Chain A
Amino acid sequence: MSEAPILEVERVTKTFGGLVAVNDVSVSIPRGMIFAVIGPNGAGKTTFFNLLTGIYKPDQGRILFDGEEITGKDPAWIAARGMARTFQNIRLFGSMTAVENVMVARHVHTKTSYADALLHTPRYHREEKKALERSMELLEYMQLGHRAHELAKNLPYGEQRRLEIARALALEPKLLLLDEPAAGMNPQETEDLQRRIVGIRDDLGVTILLIEHDMQLVMSISERIAVLDYGSKILEGTPEEVQNDPRVIEAYLGRGAAEGAS
């Protein structure tokens, strides 16, 4: 695939009061890659995601999504253009059922107008059916079909995480941002998740951008990794390169550890 990169981040900076949360970060992600962003807590990874999805506006720099400038645009607009995400602290719509959660994300792709909804026109019925079918498909894909009519807040933790991903996929995204998808999972669940993420990339052609602390997961499936520390990108490379770089070890464990390792 020799097309333009799906995401180009050029020298993006974000400051809150006196604190520089993201400092002059640039990244270029080709289509179809599984790309990970790692770094110690507070390194600015989630802030980085929030900049990409439009929740924050960068103080400096540009972001191009699929060749289009999206810097500082409204999150809903960006989502409609094909960038979906999950959240570090699960943000499902608790009092709606699983299938409804997914159907919410079909909003952009459901062409019912206000009049259609009021008058129950054939278009309304058609679009509702389509939305429901597609949502059920996605639930099945994430092995949640049997939970379709459960309230989201009643689902166990692991299923909630899967639901969030199913919901994000309902946007038909070109790029999927996963914020610590493996948090709180046991090794078995993590392995399932691993396969799923790769599956999403392979089956659906979605580029994956991943924040994760679970190194085993990151090293297994990522093709390229960027390391953030105190808001700056200190390294970008293949898993092998990142794993052995003393700067990365230092960032996570402190200077002494790095010297001990090399």
Chain B
Amino acid sequence: MRKLRENPLLLSAVIAIVALVASFWLLNNPRSTLPFLLTLGALLAALLQPIPRWLKVLIGGAILFLVIPAAGFKNSFLFELGIQTGIYAAMALGLNVVVGLAGLLDLGYAAFFAVGAYTWAIFGSPQANEFMPWKIFPLPGEYFYLFMLVAVVVAAITGVVIGSPALRLKGDYLAIVTLGLGEVVRVLANNLDQPINFTNGPQGITPIQRPPIDWFIALLDRFGLHLSRAEAYPLFFYLLVLVIIGIVTLVNVRLDRSRFGRAWIAIREDETAARAMGIPLFPTKLIAFATGASFSGAMGALFAAKQLYVSPESFTLIQSIMILVMVILGGMGSIPGAILGAATVTILNVDLLKSASDYLNDLRNAGFVLDLGFFKYNFANLPNQLEPAKYERMVFGLIMILMMIYRPEGIIPERRHVLEMKKEEA
């Protein structure tokens, strides 16, 4: 392996070939999990390994903008997967600022997602008519873009509100308080249908407007791609998510390389020393918290517009923990790590576990008998409680434990960019 690393030409060739093979395999078998994983692997290898920049852009761009969409047209599940991954990736990047950079354990991160989602859900659907005087709702779909910004602001404000009590506390207590406050938000979403109906309680809000894409369909027409609205929306949201991840990554990188990023890492490493060096603890933590919250809020609004339906069910503790697992798995403080973690966990959750469930079900239905001589098991007897898809907590828990014991820095540990930056300048 090391030989490969040291020879960039060989490495580039290998990655390029793998990318090509994987892409063709995927395009011919769009419903298969294995070629999809290989393609993703090629994408990641291309982006993270030391190959020339033009090649990174070429392979990355081709896979993201050509291969996956093309496969997606044959299997729209891939778009769904891509969008989900993207939403979680952006949230993981947000939580990365809070947990990874500043070292603040936030267990209620889904609350900001909820706030952002409900912000658009309420005003982009007839819901708002319940408590607003003029019956002008739902707002037309174009307002979605504006409301993404509104969601950012609302989520940031929520971050300040939640952070103000919570961030004064020590690490352990911060964790539990954020957990509690996350639950409070969920309970409020579930119960604020009385006395005034803000959130429509456990029933959720639907239908929610989504941005009109006639201009997008027309654009695609010009390129010879004729899609119906139903076909075009997944592609639209997929591309929108990619754009947003790009923006979020840029924001993350810029903050990381500023005095804020340094201050956050200092706080994470040693609060007392950070204070002694003039870093005001509480305001700095609050900024990290609000920043993380705003990413989540933006994605919440997008989620609402894509799903067309929100309910308190989507914003539980499991979501918060899931994103935490993404950051831990990928690497705390590491930007590529957060994205990798998001991709891994989403695919695990949405694809792999479900496939395992289906596989076991097939075995059961076929009455398959496993005969190892000393051990015989008839899969027809497999209790139907045993569905891997339902055991995400076990998987998450195991990932957290194993990562902390064996590789706390994550799969892609944080690397100090200044090192690279300055080496270039030198």
How would residues 117 to 131 of chain A score, 1 for a CB under 8 Å from any chain B CB and 0 otherwise? Answer: 110100010011001
Query: Which among B39-47, B60-68, B303-311, B414-422 touches the partner chain?
Result: B414-422
Q: Out of A85, A124, A131, A148, which one reaches B276, CB within 8 Å? A: A85
How would residues 67 to 90 of chain A score, 1 for a CB under 8 Å from any chain B CB and 0 otherwise? Answer: 000000011110110001101000
Q: Out of A117, A167, A168, which one reaches B259, CB within 8 Å? A: A117
Please, which residue of chain A has its CB at the minimum distance from the CB of B274? Answer: A104
**B170 on the interface (CB 8 Å rule)?**
no
Residues of B near A77 (CB, < 8 A) are: 280
16 A-B residue pairs with Cβ-Cβ distance under 8 Å, sorted by A, are A76-B280, A76-B281, A79-B277, A84-B276, A93-B265, A93-B273, A95-B265, A95-B416, A96-B262, A96-B266, A97-B416, A104-B266, A105-B277, A105-B278, A106-B259, A110-B259
Q: CA separation between A92 and B272, bound complex, in Å?
A: 11
Q: Closest Cβ of chain A: how far from B292's Cβ, in Å?
A: 14
**B255 on the interface (CB 8 Å rule)?**
yes
Q: Closest Cβ of chain B: how far from A108's Cβ, in Å?
A: 4
Asked whether, in the complex, the Cβ of A107 is within 8 Å of the Cβ of B414, the reply is: no
Q: CA separation between A84 and B279, bound complex, in Å?
A: 12
By DSSP majority rule, is chain B's interface helix, strand, loop, or mixed?
Answer: helix
A100-B418, A148-B422 in contact; A107/B258 too (CB < 8 A)? no
Q: CA separation between A114 and B156, bound complex, in Å?
A: 14
**With A104-B277, A151-B416 already in contact, 7 other A-B pairs whose C-beta atoms are closer than 8 Å:** A75-B275, A80-B278, A91-B272, A96-B262, A107-B277, A110-B259, A118-B254
Q: Out of A74, A104, A148, which one reaches B262, CB within 8 Å? A: A104
Among the interface residues B273, B279, B281, which one has the most CB atoms of the partner chain A within 10 A? B273
Asked whether, in the complex, the Cβ of A95 is within 8 Å of the Cβ of B269, the reply is: yes
**A99 on the interface (CB 8 Å rule)?**
yes
**A149 on the interface (CB 8 Å rule)?**
yes
- For window 256-304 of B, CB contacts with A under 8 Å fall at 257-260, 262-263, 265-266, 269-270, 272-281, 287
Residues of B near A94 (CB, < 8 A) are: 269
- For window 209-249 of A, CB contacts with B under 8 Å fall at none
Q: Out of B251, B257, B269, B418, which one reaches A149, CB within 8 Å? A: B418
Asked whether, in the complex, the Cβ of A107 is within 8 Å of the Cβ of B279, the reply is: yes
Asked whether, in the complex, the Cβ of B418 is within 8 Å of the Cβ of A97, the reply is: yes
Q: Closest Cβ of chain A: how far from B275's Cβ, in Å?
A: 4
Please, which residue of chain B has its CB at the minimum distance from the CB of A100? Answer: B418
Asked whether, in the complex, the Cβ of A167 is within 8 Å of the Cβ of B269, the reply is: no
**B423 on the interface (CB 8 Å rule)?**
yes
Please, which residue of chain B has its CB at the minimum distance from the CB of A83? Answer: B276
Asked whether, in the complex, the Cβ of A76 is within 8 Å of the Cβ of B270, the reply is: no
**A112 on the interface (CB 8 Å rule)?**
yes
Residues of B near A53 (CB, < 8 A) are: 276
Q: Out of B255, B270, B278, B423, which one reaches A117, CB within 8 Å? A: B255
A80-B278, A104-B279, A114-B287 in contact; A96/B270 too (CB < 8 A)? no
Q: CA separation between A28 and B135, bound complex, in Å?
A: 72
Q: Out of B255, B269, B280, B423, which one reaches A93, CB within 8 Å? A: B269
**Chain B residues within CB distance 8 Å of chain A:** 251, 254-255, 257-260, 262-263, 265-266, 269-270, 272-281, 287, 414, 416, 418-419, 422-423
Residues of B near A120 (CB, < 8 A) are: 254
Size range of the chain A interface in the assembly: 35 or more
Q: Closest Cβ of chain B: how far from A78's Cβ, in Å?
A: 9
Residues of A near B280 (CB, < 8 A) are: 74, 76-77
Q: CA separation between A236 and B214, bound complex, in Å?
A: 84
Q: CA separation between A49 and B255, bound complex, in Å?
A: 34
Q: CA separation between A240 and B366, bound complex, in Å?
A: 96
Among the interface residues B255, B258, B281, which one has the most CB atoms of the partner chain A within 10 A? B258
Q: CA separation between A79 and B274, bound complex, in Å?
A: 10
**A55 on the interface (CB 8 Å rule)?**
yes
How would residues 135 to 165 of chain A score, 1 for a CB under 8 Å from any chain B CB and 0 otherwise? Answer: 0000000000000110100000000000000
**A37 on the interface (CB 8 Å rule)?**
no
Q: Closest Cβ of chain A: how far from B99's Cβ, in Å?
A: 15
Q: Out of A74, A91, A100, A151, which one reaches B273, CB within 8 Å? A: A91
Asked whether, in the complex, the Cβ of A112 is within 8 Å of the Cβ of B419, the reply is: no
Q: CA separation between A114 and B258, bound complex, in Å?
A: 9
Asked whether, in the complex, the Cβ of B419 is within 8 Å of the Cβ of A128, the reply is: no
Asked whether, in the complex, the Cβ of B278 is within 8 Å of the Cβ of A118, the reply is: no
Residues of B near A127 (CB, < 8 A) are: 259
Q: Out of B262, B276, B414, which one reaches A79, CB within 8 Å? A: B276
Residues of A near B416 (CB, < 8 A) are: 95-97, 100, 151
**A171 on the interface (CB 8 Å rule)?**
yes
**A103 on the interface (CB 8 Å rule)?**
yes
Residues of B near A171 (CB, < 8 A) are: 277-278
Q: Closest Cβ of chain B: how far from A176's Cβ, in Å?
A: 12
Asked whether, in the complex, the Cβ of A95 is within 8 Å of the Cβ of B414, the reply is: yes
Q: CA separation between A75 and B274, bound complex, in Å?
A: 10
Q: Closest Cβ of chain B: how far from A121's Cβ, in Å?
A: 11
Residues of B near A114 (CB, < 8 A) are: 260, 287
Q: CA separation between A171 and B418, bound complex, in Å?
A: 21
Asked whether, in the complex, the Cβ of A124 is within 8 Å of the Cβ of B262, the reply is: no
Asked whether, in the complex, the Cβ of A97 is within 8 Å of the Cβ of B419, the reply is: yes
Residues of B near A74 (CB, < 8 A) are: 275, 280-281
Please, which residue of chain B has its CB at the minimum distance from the CB of A148? Answer: B422
Q: CA separation between A127 and B280, bound complex, in Å?
A: 19
Residues of A near B272 (CB, < 8 A) are: 55, 75, 91
Among the interface residues B266, B272, B273, B278, which one has the most CB atoms of the partner chain A within 10 A? B278
Q: Closest Cβ of chain A: how far from B396's Cβ, in Å?
A: 26
Q: Closest Cβ of chain B: how far from A52's Cβ, in Å?
A: 11
Q: CA separation between A74 and B282, bound complex, in Å?
A: 11
Please, which residue of chain A has its CB at the minimum distance from the CB of B291? Answer: A114
Q: Closest Cβ of chain A: how far from B283's Cβ, in Å?
A: 9
Please, which residue of chain A has its CB at the minimum distance from the CB of B261? Answer: A117
